Amino acid sequence: MYKKKTYDQKHLTTSQRIHIEKGLNDGLSFAAIARKLDKHPSTIAKEVKKYRTFQKREVDPRHPLRCGRFKDCSLRFLCDKPNCVKVCKYCYSNKERIPACTAFCPEYLEPQCEAICKAPYVCNHCTRQRTCNKSKAFYIAQNADKSSQDLLVSCRQGINQAPVDIALLDDLISPLLLQGQSLAHIYAFHGHEIPCSRKTLYNYIDQGVFTARNIDLRRKVSYKCKPRKTVTRVSLSAKEFRIGRTYEDFQKFIQTYPDIPIVELDTVEGGRDNSTQAFLTIFFRNCSLMLIFVLQEKSQEQVIKVFDYLTQKLGIKVFQELFPVILTDNGVEFQFPGRLECDKNGEIRTKIFYCNPNSSWQKGRIEKNHEYIRYVIPKGQSLDSYKQRDACILMNHINSEARDSLNGCTPFRLSKMLLNNKLHRLLCLQEISADEVSLKPSLLKK
């Protein structure tokens, strides 16, 4: 069976261009040159035609070349001679038999050699180079290589947009970036209005083309690396609340029930010495929806109070449907699994597992999602001034931002399809308009 030949698809090198020049000087065809260089013939043809060098012709006004349209020309009355009715191309100057119309005809066309208009497009092997008085073109490897390199550099420099298009892009993108939106969210809702890629936009921002600057991007400023803890309390892994609920037990449970929805649980604290309140965060892995509850203090009683409230308002059946398995860390506020797993009447409502000590990556998705909270409430700021209505506003804006991980969808829209909507009505979960999403401190200005 015939196998189609493949080529390397790489740019021509200087040595390959030298081979092309030599082949043209020897009168070889494009196909013969291509076989030697293992390239497609069309590659050689395009290279020669694109990077050939035209030789300037010395024009002698006394002996101009005959017009390229001479055979088909039938123009009359170009001169100012009275009563002249001759076709102008037959009107010659004295003695030299040169058409007089050549000097002033508006349609004069300088004749070109047929070798330039079709393959091989150059005069490298032409035997009439010395006697031909028409325009000539030659393929010179050194000139072609320099032109190619200049083109590669120039096409990657500057702004490849008209000033009007840049102004329109600035009016669209900068206000949204200043609201704290990410480019992923902007592309999800305005991608059809943006005539360039996301990487190009990052380059434009870096070059100062837009009103928004690098400082307005969330991740442009690098984070400080935290020193990793090397010492772990040996007694923690042996504590009673972890028995049968370790991360290894969680993995075995998931292998047994692979389709069961998983919920991650954590808390967010304010400053070390300036905050009593804390946020309880609940993250649904299947749709990336995050719930935020304000805790009066970071304690077991406050967490249990939230669980009991959800159980009472949603009903035990809906709670079991929404929170079948919960994965959390070993914080003191979660170290009462018996009460968290059961309601006031002792009915089982969920199953709780704990990550290994100092292994927050085991519930990395909720840890990553906490970044959205920190965009609005910077780390170290007190949480004591925030009420539950503030937490509701915050989680509505967070859950309304489109994510690349969700293929441009928002957590809110996905949760409406995957979760019981009774949860949305209870917690007043609403989608914020795409252009109104704001993840800046001004959202909850205190």
**Could you write out the DSSP letters of every residue in 201-263?**
HHHHHHTT-SSS-GGGSSSSSPPPPPPPP----TTGGG-GGGTT-SHHHHHHHHHHSTTS-EE
- For residue range 12-49, list pLDDT tens digits in order: 999 999 999 999 999 999 999 999 999 999 999 999 99
Q: What pLDDT is attached to residue 232?
A: 45
Please give the average per-residue pLDDT across 60-80, as a whole number.
71
Contacts of 135 (CB under 8 A, 6+ apart): 54, 55, 57, 110, 112, 113, 116
CB 384 within 8 A of CB 270: yes
Say which amino acid occupies 323.
Answer: F
173: three-class secondary structure by DSSP: helix
Count helices and strands in the chain by DSSP H and E runs = 16, 7
pLDDT of residue 379 exceeding 70, the answer is yes
Report cis status (omega within 30 of 0) of the bond before 61.
no
pLDDT of residue 438 exceeding 70, the answer is yes
- Give the E-state strand segments of 239-335 in sequence order: 262-269, 278-284, 290-295, 325-328
Q: What pLDDT is attached to residue 239?
A: 79
Please give the average per-residue pLDDT across 386-404, as a whole number.
95
Q: What pLDDT is attached to residue 128?
A: 83
Which neighbouring-strand residues pair with 262? 325
Task: Check the CA dihedral 90-96-98-103 and report its sign.
Answer: negative
Exposed, middle or buried by CB within 10 Å (0-12, 13-18, 19+), for 408? middle
Report how far apart, in Å, the C-alpha atoms of 214 and of each of 199, 380, 441 are: 14, 23, 18
Q: What pLDDT is attached to residue 129?
A: 79
- Going by the DSSP 8-state scheme, the letter that residue 39 receives in this structure is -
Query: Whats the size of the chain, residue-wise?
Result: 446
- For residue range 128-146, list pLDDT tens digits in order: 877 777 778 899 999 999 9
Please give the average per-residue pLDDT across 234-242, as a whole number.
67
68-82, 155-169, 427-441: which range is least confident on average? Answer: 68-82
